[in-house]
Amino acid sequence: MDTLFIDGTWQPATDNATRTIYCPADGSEVGVVSEASAADAERAIMAARKAFDSRVWVDTPAAERGDLLIKVADEILRRKDEFARAEALDTGKRLVEAEGDMEDIAGCFRYFGKIADSHPGRLVDAGDPSVLSRVAYEPVGVCGMITPWNFPLLQAAWKIAPAVATGNSFVIKPAELTPHTTILILQVLDELGLPKGVGNLVTGDGANVGSVLSSHPEIDLISFTGGLATGKIIASAAAEGVKKVALELGGKNPNVVFADADFDAAVDNALNAGFMDSGLVCSAGARLIVEESIKEKFVDELVRRAEDIVLGGPFDEAAETGPLISREHRAKVADYVRRGVEAGATLRCGGDFGPEKLADGCFYSPTVLDNCTADNPAVIEEGFGPVITVETFSTEDEAIAIANDTDYGLAGAVWTSDMGTAHRVSARLQHGTIWINDYHPYIPQAEWGGFKKSGIGRELGPTGLEEYQQPKHIYHNTEPAVTGWFPQKEHND
């Protein structure tokens, strides 16, 4: 299948290169996609530039741009089975989880559709009645978008929806392992009438194609979701061209449990925080920080329940969580666990590749590393797998200090039945999202993004729309007059 979408046409890579996509649950072939080259990326960028400069989409009324996005939301829900199956096959995640993702994705398109015309600009009091001063919010221009493999279409939606709402053109590069739902969404945008060249897609890898997006002079904004190491490469490539940069990077997210928390809810949510989607969630609650007095009982129960989690592929109805994305990624997780144990952590459960019958897939059992110290690499690094590390605290100040002792700052939770504790701790945690007595929910109306090395900028919410706009001050003197600043001089020639 030709999967490059450039200037309104589906096409193969210039050298006809392709990549086969495999399902990580069993290694079966999912499909074959075009493998773009740097030259293809360049063509896609120039198509987006031409479309932007033509003003075809910028000059479309914002409310009409919003209507298109609302239709996209409806179409995703109408074709939910097809979209969810494609996502489940690419990622190996359970179909039911992929279906949930599609609901969220439709919600994102609907939200940005509704607020597309909400931020046109404002009048400013210039202090002079003859001056009309206004600040207009204009699209940034050509946006490069690079997305990861864990929530392929969700991460794409968080970028495409606000960019399209505000009149930009874009080129998107999905993760090379999970391209199929991004292909589907470009088809939908095209079918619903997005003008040609406004949305472009290049399926290809990071080094050859992603690097062109982050360094090309015709890209005005690069929006990236992925790992910290890649984020740094992209930020420095973008710095050369002084591009706008939006980065959604990793996390090392604390889940702080006080002794007065609802025990059953806290244990249940700790499992969910760490093992949902096999821990392949940037905001996964991978650092359990539990009050010393309940630690033993809490971790015993956590381990008991973790050992019961059933692994399986997308269509196995008994499965409770799926595989990792690839064997390479699993090897990294296994190495991360090995180093954690070597540094003194106690392996309480997991640490293996799951049942023998799943040997064709990239499974890794839910793992709990107990008795961790702050200097353990498993506590410091993002493992990005189904691994929870356990640390303890005795006082509120200590809990906060441990939870903030990380380079990352994406998300975190506090569990307590005391409202004062909840508010004091949530105010002092240096993370972009804080849950109190919950874990994982997010809503498109609220900003998402990281403190510290978890990123730059915000997605979702009104700020997520504004990321794709730039303010322009227009100062109109309705009564032009001579200033007298440089007095006119008489010349006798």
> Judged by CB under 6 A, which stretch of 131-139, 170-178, 289-297, 479-487 contacts ligand NAD?
170-178
Instruction: Write phi, then psi, for 294 (nearest 5 degrees).
Output: -115, 5
Among 227, 241, 377, 462, binds ligand NAD (CB under 6 A): 227
Please say which residue, 67 or 205, places its beta carbon nearer to ligand NAD: 205
Q: How far is CA 110 from the centre of its chain?
A: 18
Q: Binding residue for ligand NAD (CB under 6 A) from 35, 382, 391, 396? A: 382
DSSP state, 310?
A: P
For ligand NAD, the binding residue among 37, 150, 181, 182 (CB under 6 A) is 150
Say whether residue 144 binds ligand NAD (CB under 6 A): no
Ranges of beta strands (E only) in 337-423 are 346-349, 367-370, 387-393, 411-415
Q: How many residues bind ligand NAD (CB under 6 A)?
A: 32
**Burial letters 449-464, b for 16+ CB under 10 A, else e:** bbbbbbbbbbbbbeeb
Contact 137, 463 (CB under 8 A): no
Contacts of ligand NAD in 236-295 (CB under 6 A): 248-251, 282
194 binds ligand NAD (CB under 6 A): no
Instruction: Give the active site residue among 87, 97, 248, 301.
Output: 248
**Nearest distance from C-beta of residue 33 to ligand NAD, angstroms:** 13
CA distances 210 to 12, 101, 206, 435, Å, are 18, 25, 4, 33
* CB contact at 8 A, 313 and 92: yes
In the complex, minimum distance from the CB of residue 449 to ligand NAD, in angstroms, rounded to a whole number: 7
Which residues, 6+ apart, have CB-to-CB distance to 239 below 8 Å? 245
The answer to whether residue 319 forms part of the interface with ligand NAD (CB under 6 A) is no
Between the alpha carbon of residue 299 and those of residues 182, 211, 390, the distances in Å are 40, 44, 8
Active site residue 176: no
**447 touches ligand NAD (CB under 6 A):** no
Beta strand pairing status for 4-6 and 9-11?
Answer: antiparallel
Q: How far is the CB of 176 from ligand NAD (least distance, A)?
A: 5
The residue among 130 and 236 lying less far from ligand NAD, judged by its C-beta, is 236
Catalytic residue ranges:
248
Q: Where do contacts with ligand NAD occur on this chain (CB under 6 A)?
A: 146-151, 155, 173, 175-176, 205-207, 210-211, 214, 225-227, 230, 233-234, 248-251, 282, 382, 384, 410, 450, 455
